[in-house]
Amino acid sequence: MRHPVLACLLLVACVAPPARAADTARPNILFIIADDLNDWVGFLRGHPQTRTPNLDRLAARGVVFANANCASPLCQPSRAAVFSGRHPFRSGAYGNDDDIRRTAPQLVLLPQQLRAAGYRTLGTGKLLHQKRADLFDESFFPEQRWSPFEPDQTSYTLDELPSKVTDDPRHLVDLGGGRKVTLPLNRMPSDRRPKDPGGESFDWGGVDVTDAEMGDAQIAAWAVERLKAPVEKPFFLGVGFYRPHIPLFAPAAYFKPFPVGATTLPPNLANDLADLPETGRKIATDAVTAGSHESVVKYRQWQAAVAAYLACVHFVDAQVGRLLDALDSGPHAKNTIIVFFGDHGWHLGEKQHWGKLTGWERSVRVPLVIAPAARDRAQYAVGRASAQPVSLLDLYPTLLEYSGTPAPKNALDGQSLLPLLRAPQTKTGRAVISTVDRIHFSVRDERWRYLRYADGGEELYDLLADPNEWTNLAGKPEHAGTRARLAAELPHDPVPPATVAPRKKK
Q: How confident is the model over 150-175, as pLDDT tens digits?
A: 999 999 999 999 999 999 999 999 99
Contacts 24+ apart (CB under 8 A), 456-465: 457/276, 457/277, 457/278, 457/279, 457/280, 458/277, 458/483, 458/487, 459/276, 459/277, 459/280, 459/359, 460/486, 461/361, 463/361
**Do residues 102 and 137 both lie within one domain?**
yes
**Do residues 192 and 339 both lie within one domain?**
no
**Do residues 80 and 166 both lie within one domain?**
no
CB 290 within 8 A of CB 184: no
Q: Looking at 350, 385, 418, which one is the last position of a domain?
A: 418
Tell me whether residue 465 is in a domain. Answer: no
pLDDT at 131: 86
**Do residues 78 and 212 both lie within one domain?**
yes
**Do residues 128 and 172 both lie within one domain?**
no
**Do residues 247 and 382 both lie within one domain?**
yes
Tell me whether residue 296 is in a domain. Answer: yes
Instruction: Give the domain range for residue 188.
Output: 149-200
**Do residues 336 and 391 both lie within one domain?**
yes
Tell me whether residue 153 is in a domain. Answer: yes
The residue type of 220 is A
| Distance, CA of 29 to CA of 373 (rounded, Å) | 9
**Do residues 260 and 305 both lie within one domain?**
yes
CATH number of the CATH domain containing 272:
3.40.720.10
Q: Partners of 204 in the beta sheet?
A: 248
Residue count of the chain: 506
**Number of folded domains that form the chain:** 2
Tell me whether residue 281 is in a domain. Answer: yes
SS3 letters for 334-364? CCEEEEEEECCCCEECHHHCEECCCCCHHHH
pLDDT digits (tens, 9 = 90+) for 260-294: 999 999 999 999 999 999 999 999 999 999 999 99
Confidence band for 190, pLDDT divided at 50, 70 and 90: very high
Mean pLDDT of 338-345: 98
**Do residues 192 and 220 both lie within one domain?**
no
pLDDT at 10: 31
pLDDT at 499: 53
pLDDT digits (tens, 9 = 90+) for 413-468: 999 999 999 999 999 999 999 999 999 999 999 999 999 999 999 999 999 999 99
pLDDT digits (tens, 9 = 90+) for 118-136: 999 999 999 998 888 999 9
In the chain, the N- to C-terminal Cα span, in Å, equals 76
Q: Looking at 165, 200, 235, which one is the last position of a domain?
A: 200
Tell me whether residue 478 is in a domain. Answer: no
Shortest CA distance to 198 belongs to which of 206, 190, 208? Answer: 190
pLDDT at 20: 31
| Residue of 129, 293, 332, 347 marked catalytic | 129
**Do residues 296 and 158 both lie within one domain?**
no
Residue 129 is among the residues annotated as catalytic for this protein: yes
**Do residues 136 and 161 both lie within one domain?**
no
Q: Looking at 400, 418, 436, which one is the last position of a domain?
A: 418
Tell me whether residue 454 is in a domain. Answer: no
pTM of structure: 0.93
| Residue of 47, 75, 344, 440 marked catalytic | 75
pLDDT at 16: 32
| Distance, CA of 131 to CA of 126 (rounded, Å) | 7
**Do residues 395 and 255 both lie within one domain?**
yes
Higher pLDDT pick, 97 / 83? 83
Mean pLDDT of 337-363: 98
Shortest CA distance to 454 belongs to which of 422, 497, 412, 402? Answer: 497
Mean pLDDT of the chain: 93
Residue 75 is among the residues annotated as catalytic for this protein: yes
Whether the per-residue pLDDT at 504 is higher than 60: the answer is no
Tell me whether residue 50 is in a domain. Answer: yes
Tell me whether residue 430 is in a domain. Answer: no
Whether the per-residue pLDDT at 11 is higher than 80: the answer is no
